[in-house]
Structure 1
Amino acid sequence: MSEDILEYINLRHVFEIHEGKETQYNCPNCSEEYLFCDQGDLQFEETGESRALRYDDCWDEDWIEYSFNAVLKCKKCFEIVFCVGVGSFSRLSLYGSDEDLAKLAEEDFISRDFIPRYFYPPIKQFEIPSDCSDGVKQDINSAFSLAYCDFSASGNKLRSALEKLTNQLLPGSESNFHQKLDELKSIDLEASEILMSIKWLGNEASHESSLKQYDLTYALNALRYALSRLFDEDPKRIRGFSKMINAKKGSIVKT
């Protein structure tokens, strides 16, 4: 396996939540602080299906699954975010002297990992440029909401956002979606190529429902970068000056 593929499959945007610890999720309100899960703000119960499996002759503790809910808080703006998801159970192997191990409680030998599936309000993966059309913003925000519970559905929403984005940027074009993405090269070559890669993943999401977390994480990161190239003032200013300089084949200011 190449280093590039290994780096790609390690991309992720879903992270575990632990009681009494800071999460890796930015506040959806201020975007300046990680959300925190205070002690006592996470509750969990073993699922009914998991409890039923205990009657299986082959049952093992690793089969235990939980449902959980948690309240996450921003310590900067005091936003409250509600979260629900699933959890797993594992038993730890701890090493030390018999005397030290005897001082530990049963819970010290247990690890429970909680993975979020839904947030309210939704976690924003990035700030959507204000110049994007309402339709583009709506689809991207829908992708954010689905990004933890259904990777393919989220990817499908990103593809829909790209279609509306090409219509916004190329209002006079009568080309199909794929051709419009190619036509964006006249605006920004790199952004066009990046958006094309998101489209291919969106196609897989629409037809095969097979996107993995790393595919969606790439698509979200790639879209953020492409939108910055298309809408941020610095790239737009550089593109504008470059076209003027190329047209004049020299400085646009002649003294």
Structure 2
Amino acid sequence: MTKITPTGKHMEYYNYDQGIEHVFSGILQCKNADCKELVTISGQCLKDIVYGKELPDGQLVEDRFSDYFPKYFYPNLRLFKLSDKIPANVSEQINLSFSNYFDDLSSCANRIRNSIELILDDLKAPKWKKTNAGKIHKFKVLHQRIEHYGKRNKNIANHLLALKIIGNEGSHVGNVATEDVLDAYEILEQLIEFAYIKETKRIAEIAKEIVTRNKPRTAE
């Protein structure tokens, strides 16, 4: 179902040169015979007219089109498969990030950052270290904790640092790009392979590049 918005009606009054804005909603069903899952969908739809070819009599032929921009899915779509080997609390944060992906990239990136803190807890990464004087020094920031864990497993720490850098961008509204979040998902999926499933070589170069630059790959 599609319905024009008040903004769309305003654009229609001015001949909608930028398109007419609608909202849409519907129900999707998986075509896999073993699944047939139902998913509700809603979002924005822009309808517009493109002038096509001119007929011999001078008449212009109009081509109409609609662009759909999904914002919400329920149940939410998963951008990669979540193994049952992942701890439940980690899996929950990742799944919540999937829910935010289409509508709020900042929240999505923050959920990814939350998941890596929980992964560190599950890997028994220390939250403190002893100084040369024998005193207990608690890590004040996540970066320090990850770097310290790197003494035990440099590869996993490198992936965690890359995810932390992208996750931090989520704290600044408008700073995180879709491409950065997709990088994060690739790195996170590989991290899960390293930490919980098996060691395979993929995405290591992306993680290394982000850590070396100390910023997402799209940042100047």
TM above 0.5, yes or no, is yes
* Partner residue, 1:67: 23
Q: Which residue of 2 aligns with 1:177?
A: 142
Greater Cα offset, 74-83 or 183-192: 183-192
**How far apart are the structure 2 equivalents of 1:162 and 1:234?**
18
Within 5 Å, give how 1:6-21 maps onto structure 2.
Answer: none
**Residue segments in structure 1 that go unaligned for 5+ positions in a row:** 1-42, 236-255
For the pair 1:196 / 2:161, whether they are aligned, the reply is yes
Q: 1:79 aligns with which of 37, 52, 57?
A: 37
Match of 2:170, SS state, is helix
- Secondary structure, aligned partner of 1:82: strand
| Cα distance in 2 for residues equivalent to 1:134 and 1:222 | 19
Structure with more relative contact order (C-alpha pairs < 8 Å, separation 6 or more) = 1
Equivalent residue for 2:187, pick from 213, 219, 222: 222
Distance 1:187 1:122, change over 3 A: farther
Residue among 64, 80, 94 paired with 2:52: 94
In structure 1, what is the equivalent of residue 132 of structure 2? none
**Structure 1 CA distance for aligned equivalents of residues 15 and 146 of structure 2:** 52
Q: CA deviation at 1:224?
A: 1.0
Q: What is the aligned length? A: 186
String of CA shifts for 1:152-183, please: whole Å, max 9, x gaps: 01111111111111111125442342122223
TM-score (norm 2): 0.73
Residues 25, 42 of structure 2: 8 Å contact kept? yes
User: Is there any run of 5+ residues in structure 2 with no aligned partner, and where?
Assistant: 129-138, 201-220
Q: 2:76 corresponds to which residue?
A: 122
Letter in 2 for 1:225: Q
Aligned match for 1:135, one of 89, 103, 107: 89
Contact 2:105–2:178 (CA<8 Å) still a contact in 1? yes
Q: Could you tell me the percent identity over the aligned residues? A: 23
Q: Deviations over 1:111-149 (max 9, x none)?
A: 101011010100011122333322211111110101101
Return the letter of the residue paired with 2:159. I
Is the Cα contact below 8 Å between 1:170 and 1:180 reproduced in 2?
no
Once residues 69 and 97 of structure 2 are traced to their aligned partners in structure 1, the CA distance between those partners, rounded to angstroms, is 18
Higher strand share: 2
The CA deviation at 1:202 is: 1.3
Answer yes or no: is the 8 Å Cα contact 1:188–1:230 preserved in 2: no
